[in-house]
Chains A and B, each alone.
Chain A
Amino acid sequence: MNSPGQLALRNIRFSYESAAWSLEIPALAFGAEPLCGIVGPNGSGKSTLLKLAAGLLAPGEGAAELAGRSVARMRRADLARRLGYLPQECPALFDYAVEQVVAMGRHAHGGTLDLPDAADRDAVARALADVGLEALRQRPLSHLSGGERRRAWLASALAQEPEILLLDEPTQALDLHQAAAVMEILARRAANGLRVVAVMHDLNLAGLFCDRLVLIQSGKIAADGPPAEILTENRLLAAYGDKIEVLRRPETPNPIVLARK
């Protein structure tokens, strides 16, 4: 894997026709921290921010740049070798086998008529091993649990071997154990050089695994820094409203966020 370049959003302004707010990001850069979480209430613009960073949405103003190059002007295949993106859902049109899904992650590494080579096969095998789906490699997606399916999609993104990987809620709809397992997989890859940027709803998981959190509120960056500085009662009450409680315990460095009646 190459050394990670910086992914920067500059003077971004974007709005949906139906939205009451517009996303405004004067400056935001990813790539310095191994694992960065984007948190914030539903509808605050987290997924939109991620899509703008991935070049899937064109901003009204400003630009996303990877190592100084405009993401919008890069060929998608060139971009995908350096910047990966995993959406919240990957609705499968046909009943692909796990290995086929993971091998699709190698798309950007081959030409139109190329067949998978040794590097592709190694990357697929590594990704399958990382997510623990080696034994299920031939199994169709329809025969997998929700957690296994999500790990198959993750393996596809890992097999892509980008420098920076953007993930939209990678732990969505997973139980605590599966969610922690997914975050551990990402943390292991991050320790080996991958830079991960993940939109997250579980603030405890985000606090536990991320090196940096960006708190988005109504399309603006409300806070940006280490988890301990972001997950404070004042900030979270301001962003999420009063149904939240933040506990601090001496035995854990990160605060614990709970819902309150």
Chain B
Amino acid sequence: MTQNRPFLAFLAVFTVFLAVFPWIGAEKLSFRQVFGFVVGDWTADGMIFFQIRLPRVLLGLLAGGALAMAGAALQVIFRNPLAEPWTLGIAGGASLGAFLARVCPFLWFALGPLNTSQALALLGAAGALGLVLSLARRSAAGAQTLLLAGVTLGVVCGGAIMVISGFISPWKLAEFHRWLLGGLDAADWASVGALAALAVPGVALLLVQARNLNPLGLGEDMAAGQGVDVARVRRWTAVGAGLASAGVAAVAGPIGFVGLLAPHAVRKIVGPDARLVLPCSFLFGGALLAACDALGRWAAAPLEVPVGALTAVLGGPLFLALLARRR
């Protein structure tokens, strides 16, 4: 029961944010009109609440949660506290995919609920993940090689974007920069569905691996001696984290720091047990991203600060403060 207390506290914060944040924004909403919408009266406030703000808050909670849980798991399988979803090369692949969708209007197709940009971002992320995993398998590499391969791929994709940028018009670049900063401003129920389609299976896969991740914290040989199939756990964890973070990249662009900061902050509170760290990271990461997004909507209303930029600006100093407090 004592062990469950932090989890329940994180769950309470997550739930409160879900209930409160849809009320925050440039337009003040009336309770009566919003609840009127529930019973069938068409109201503008109801439309804003249910069609714009609620999916946006859900998107933030789910995206932040998926990134944080993926970060928590990746830090264990890479045995590196700096590992996070983007170090797999997924962000680079996804950015390149979305960029190509925007600069090549003749590339048009849809994949389920995903539009061209989302679908290509997803394909880019999946391609990057597949390439990194196949490199790692071919060289029978350890965690460090996987990490280096991911970082290198991210740099290559970033470089490719810069090269292509030289050939396109400035107004198209400006449009894409918004996506590159990472944001939830294009949120609707289709985006929530697109994210959930990838993030929910990814998160479920990670939760199933949580028990296997603990022995890995004492080294691969020790874990293998204790009955962990290390290669299998590493593979499924990478797939789970890849699904979760590809879903986020495709819908919301690159959102930094949540996947890095949330797991470390959670470990400070609940300790290193992955069975607790993973679900708590989901709740904390989701709450953190949703809170940053609410702040971005409220602080400069009616303008908005992109949540990806805000998480970096606020999350960075917070992370440095955490590091400074570390004994």
Contact = CB atoms under 8 A, between A and B. Distances in A.
Nearest to A85: B225
A117 B267 CA distance: 25
A76 B224 contact: yes
B13 interface: no
Given A87-B219, A87-B222, A96-B272, A76 B76 contact: no
A255 interface: no
A86 to B, nearest CB: 6
A104 interface: yes
A100 B224 contact: no
Contact of B273 (A93, A100, A114): A100
Interface string B184-215: 00000000000000000000000010011011
Contacts of A160: 225-227
Contacts of B161: none
A75 interface: yes
Given A75-B229, A76-B229, A93-B76, A85 B215 contact: no
Interface residues of A, number: 39
A86 B215 CA distance: 12
B218 A104 contact: yes
Nearest to A160: B226
B158 interface: no
Contacts of A157: 225
Contacts of B217: 92-94, 96
Q: Majority SS of interface residues in chain B?
A: helix
Contacts of A114: 211
A112 B211 contact: yes
Contacts of A76: 224, 227-229
B102 interface: no
A91 B227 contact: no
A259 to B, nearest CB: 30
B221 interface: yes
Nearest to A97: B271
B206 to A, nearest CB: 12
A114 B208 CA distance: 11
Contacts of A75: 229
Contacts of A92: 217-218
B278 to A, nearest CB: 13
Nearest to A55: B224
Interface in A114-129: 114
A153 interface: yes
A56 B224 contact: yes
A108 B226 contact: yes
Given A96-B217, A104-B218, A80 B76 contact: no
B323 to A, nearest CB: 15
A66 to B, nearest CB: 14
A90 B219 contact: yes
Contacts of B221: 51, 56, 85, 87, 90
B234 to A, nearest CB: 13
Contacts of B228: 76-77, 107
Given A89-B219, A91-B219, A80 B267 contact: no
B101 to A, nearest CB: 38
B227 A101 contact: no
A80 B226 contact: yes
A110 interface: yes
A48 interface: no
B226 A94 contact: no
Contact of B211 (A86, A93, A107): A107
Which of A56, A85, A92, A107 is packed against the most chain B CB atoms within 10 Å?
Answer: A107
A107 B219 CA distance: 14
A37 interface: no
A76 B215 CA distance: 13
A142 B76 CA distance: 18
A11 to B, nearest CB: 23
Contacts of B208: 112-113
A51 B220 CA distance: 12
A194 B279 CA distance: 38
Given A56-B221, A79-B227, A86-B222, A94 B267 contact: yes
Given A96-B217, A114-B211, 16 more contacts: A77-B227, A78-B227, A80-B226, A84-B225, A86-B222, A87-B219, A93-B76, A94-B267, A96-B272, A100-B214, A100-B271, A104-B218, A105-B226, A107-B211, A107-B214, A160-B227
14 contacts: A51-B221, A76-B227, A77-B228, A91-B219, A92-B218, A93-B217, A93-B218, A94-B217, A96-B271, A104-B214, A107-B226, A153-B218, A156-B222, A156-B226
Interface of A: 51, 54-56, 75-81, 84-87, 89-97, 100-101, 104-105, 107-108, 110, 112-114, 153, 156-157, 160, 166
Return the 10 tightest CB-CB contacts between A and B, nearest first: A80-B227, A108-B227, A85-B225, A94-B272, A87-B221, A77-B227, A90-B218, A93-B217, A90-B222, A76-B229
